[in-house]
């Protein structure tokens, strides 16, 4: 019997960041050739293209923050800088011919689904048809900018960390920074080397996990070049530490939490001798409740002569700087807004209509949630990479995407085998999945009493309340009982010109 060739779906991916690149490589490896990535900017790289602030780096060890199939012996440090990571993604994209599939400067403005096809509109007026639409926009890419009273009156330069204005020379300047999250911490470690003075406006102190950086010598790099096993071992060690200590500590393992807490508390005790300053820097919530800040330098940076820590709340912004609620004016030339991101915007502001005309804003009106982070009941043949309840935290997002991509590929593979033209999770499956997570959240550290971007508007954490191991196991194979599928015998033929598609259509 002649085996029917597999169908070759057309796939549109939104975003050419870490996940979009990975998806393209893996779809192509699976034999799918009709792939278009729509990228709103002029370059690939996502987070690493956008964030160019002084000190930008990844606080996950570089060997862990690399694709499993592209280890990089050239990493210069244990924690790689933003520039180096951007260069890595550019190199990988070139090597795997990803760039030729990217349409740059084309943001997706609208997507509409009908009978097994997505019609996708872009900002330059192009229209694409696709069997599958995949959002790979990442989580934190919409800057959150609070509306401070009087901010329009400020005479100096003011910008968000993700929109760094490199035309502003910081030499000899008085710079202020609002926020003390992971981003601000990296800037605080770097900026005092450039600016005359740095004033840090802290609303809530952070726990800092001691993670000293280390330069990799030429000898180490050569050993890594000579032996991939060496990199694999380093990766395994880092992964085990993250899984056993960081990850387990957050989801209720008492021993892991004790170890992590002790490390953070000792770090503060040993790093800051001045009692008054230490008090200001001591959080009143559990370690890990907010996303843990990882830094080997923060405590020494905050104690530099030219750095001031202000803990009085911000009353308003004036034409000359920031006025705090104790009535003090802090004169500044530059004000950096390090207030984080909107974590639930995902691929929006694009509009999106799924089956029966249900818009994404309607679907998420009450709550932003998904089935297994990846699927939505009303949006068939659509996958949301790194969606709500992906086990974010301090893990490598590359590792997370490398778990989600094979899951998505399995669902696409069934389409290729002609099992269905349309696949979506059921409403019940999504409700059940989310209820199970909600029931387990009480055991996690995120609900122990702090404010953070992990929490949605109802105070429910957007993370995964079980172990990494369990997540991986549950993501191994899609449970088809949780899906609704449909066939469309008169479905519009794929526009793909590839041989396998044409054969499939003929058969
Ligand atoms: P963030 O963690 O959300 O921190 C925002 C900071 O701004 C907090 O200190 C917050 O104070 C403060 N803030 C917000 N609104 C304010 C207001 N109205 N007045 C005064 N202060 C205000 O944002 P982020 O530092 O950009 O980090 C976001 C996430 O990005 C991180 O958690 C991490 O997942 C990721 N990231 C990763 C890396 C990496 O190396 N892998 C580096 C940077 C960022 P409160 O604490 O009081 O809310």
The pLDDT of residue 115 is above 80: yes
249 lines ligand 1 (CB under 6 A): no
- Residue 187 Cβ inside 6 Å of ligand 1? The answer reads no
**Which pLDDT band holds residue 434 (cuts at 50, 70, 90)?**
very high
Point out the ligand 1 atom lying closest to the alpha carbon of residue 57.
40
From the CA of 283, how far away is ligand 1's center (Å)? 15
Report the separation in Å between the CA atom of 146 and the middle of ligand 1, taken as the mean of its atom positions. Answer: 12
Decide: 496 in ligand 1 pocket, CB within 6 A.
no
Helical packing angle, 397-416 and 18-29, nearest 10°: 40
Interval between CA 285 and ligand 1 midpoint (Å): 16
pLDDT above 90: residue 94: yes
Mean pLDDT of the chain: 94
**Looking at residues 219-229, what average pLDDT do you find?**
97
Q: Nearest to residue 284, comparing CAs of 34, 160, 471, 451?
A: 451
Closest-lying ligand 1 atom to the alpha carbon of residue 146: 18
59 CB-near residues (< 8 Å, 6+ apart): 79, 182, 186, 211, 293, 294, 295, 394
Q: Which atom of ligand 1 is nearest to the CA of 140?
A: 30
Nearest CA to ligand 1 atom 5: 339
Looking at ligand 1, which residue's alpha carbon is closest to its atom 28?
A: 340
Classify burial at 9, counting beta carbons within 10 Å of its beta carbon; exposed 0-12, middle 13-18, buried 19 or more. buried
Q: Is any ligand 1 atom within 6 A of the Cβ of residue 181?
A: yes
Q: How far is the CA of 76 from the centre of ligand 1 (A)?
A: 27
pLDDT, tens only, 44-64: 999 999 999 999 999 999 999
- 368 within ligand 1 shell (Cβ under 6 A): no
Helices (H), 115-190: 182-190
**pLDDT tens per residue across span 4-54:** 889 999 999 999 999 999 999 999 999 999 999 999 999 999 999 999 999
Q: Whose CA is nearest to atom 33 of ligand 1?
A: 182
What's the pTM?
A: 0.94
Summarize the confidence of residues 261-274 as an average pLDDT.
98
Q: Which atom of ligand 1 is nearest to the CA of 294?
A: 40
Is the CB of 60 within 6 Å of ligand 1? yes
Phi, psi (degrees; rounded to nearest 5) at 93: -60, -40
pLDDT score of 391: 84
Nearest protein CA to atom 24 of ligand 1, as residue: 340
Is the C-beta atom of 180 inside 6 A of ligand 1? yes
Q: Please state the rounded mean pLDDT for residues 445-466.
A: 95
Q: Is the CB of 102 under 6 A from ligand 1?
A: no
pLDDT at 57 (0 to 100): 98
What percentage of residues in the chain have a pLDDT greater than 70?
96
Determine the atom of ligand 1 nearest the C-alpha atom of 60: 41
Atom of ligand 1 nearest to the CA of 58: 40
Q: Which residues contact 277 (CB under 8 A, 6 or more apart)?
A: 302, 303, 309
How do residues 166-214 score in pLDDT, each as one tens digit?
A: 999 999 999 999 999 999 999 999 999 999 999 999 999 999 999 999 9
Rounded to an integer, what distance in angstroms lies between the CA atom of residue 58 and that of residue 397? 11
Based on the number of CB atoms within 10 Å of its own CB, is 456 exposed (0-12), middle (13-18) or buried (19 or more)?
Answer: middle
Check residue 323 and report its DSSP letter.
E
Mutate to test the pocket of ligand 1, among 60, 181, 453 (most ligand atoms within 8 A of CB): 181
Q: Is residue 177 lining ligand 1, measured as CB closer than 6 Å? A: no
Measure the CA angle with vertex 283, ends 282 and 286; round to 5°. 130
Give the pLDDT score at 501: 31
- The rounded Å distance from CA 450 to ligand 1 centre is 13
Is the pLDDT score of 479 beyond 60?
A: yes
pLDDT in the model for residue 1:
67
Cα of 179 to ligand 1 centre, how many Å?
A: 6
- Contact by Cβ (8 Å): 335, 176: yes
Beta bridge mates, 422: 486
Residue 83, pLDDT > 90, answer: yes
């Amino acid at each position: 019997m002649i085996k029917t060739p597999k169908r070759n779906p057309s796939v549109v991916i939104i975003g050419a960041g870490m996940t979009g690149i990975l998806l393209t490589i893996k779809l192509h490896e699976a034999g799918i050739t009709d792939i278009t990535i729509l990228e709103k900017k002029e370059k690939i790289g996502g987070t690493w293209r956008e964030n160019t602030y002084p000190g930008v780096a990844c606080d996950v060890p570089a060997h862990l923050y690399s694709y499993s199939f592209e280890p990089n012996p050239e990493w210069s440090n244990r924690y790689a800088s933003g520039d180096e990571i951007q260069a890595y993604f550019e190199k990988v994209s070139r090597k795997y011919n990803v760039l030729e599939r990217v349409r740059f400067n084309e943001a997706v403005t609208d997507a509409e689904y009908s009978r097994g096809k997505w019609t996708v509109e872009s900002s330059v007026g192009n229209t694409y048809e696709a069997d599958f639409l995949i959002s790979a926009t990442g989580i934190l890419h919409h800057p959150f900018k609070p509306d401070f009273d009087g901010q329009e009156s400020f005479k100096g330069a003011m910008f968000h960390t993700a929109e760094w204005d490199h035309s502003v020379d910081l030499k000899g300047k008085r710079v202020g920074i609002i926020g003390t999250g992971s981003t601000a911490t990296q800037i605080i470690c770097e900026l005092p080397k450039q600016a005359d003075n740095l004033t840090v406006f802290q609303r809530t102190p952070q726990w800092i996990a001691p993670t000293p950086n280390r330069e990799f010598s030429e000898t180490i790099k050569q050993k890594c070049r000579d032996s991939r096993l060496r990199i694999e071992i380093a990766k395994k060690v880092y992964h085990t530490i993250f899984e056993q200590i960081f990850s387990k500590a957050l989801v209720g393992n008492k021993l892991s939490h004790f170890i992590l807490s002790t490390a953070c508390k000792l770090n503060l005790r040993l790093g800051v001798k001045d009692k008054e300053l230490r008090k200001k820097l001591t959080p009143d919530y559990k370690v890990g409740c907010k996303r843990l800040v990882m830094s080997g330098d923060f405590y020494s940076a905050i104690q530099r002569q030219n750095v001031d820590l202000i803990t009085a709340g911000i009353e308003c912004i004036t034409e000359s700087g920031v006025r705090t609620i104790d009535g003090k004016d802090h004169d500044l030339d530059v004000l950096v807004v390090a207030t984080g991101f909107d974590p639930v915007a995902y691929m929006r502001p694009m509009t999106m209509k799924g089956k029966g005309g249900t818009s994404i804003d309607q679907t998420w009106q009450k709550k932003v949630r998904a089935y297994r982070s990846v699927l939505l009941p009303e949006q068939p043949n659509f996958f949301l990479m790194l969606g709500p309840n992906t086990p974010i935290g301090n893990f490598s997002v590359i590792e997370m995407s490398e778990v989600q991509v094979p899951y998505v590929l399995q669902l696409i593979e069934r389409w290729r085998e002609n099992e269905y033209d349309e696949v979506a999770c059921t409403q019940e499956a999504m409700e059940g999945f989310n209820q199970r997570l909600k029931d387990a959240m009480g055991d996690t550290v995120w609900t122990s009493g702090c404010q953070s971007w992990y929490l949605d508007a109802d105070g429910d954490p957007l993370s995964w309340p079980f172990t990494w191991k369990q997540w991986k196991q549950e993501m191994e194979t899609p449970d088809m009982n949780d899906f609704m599928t449909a066939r469309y015998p008169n479905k519009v033929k794929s526009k793909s010109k590839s041989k396998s598609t044409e054969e499939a259509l003929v058969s």
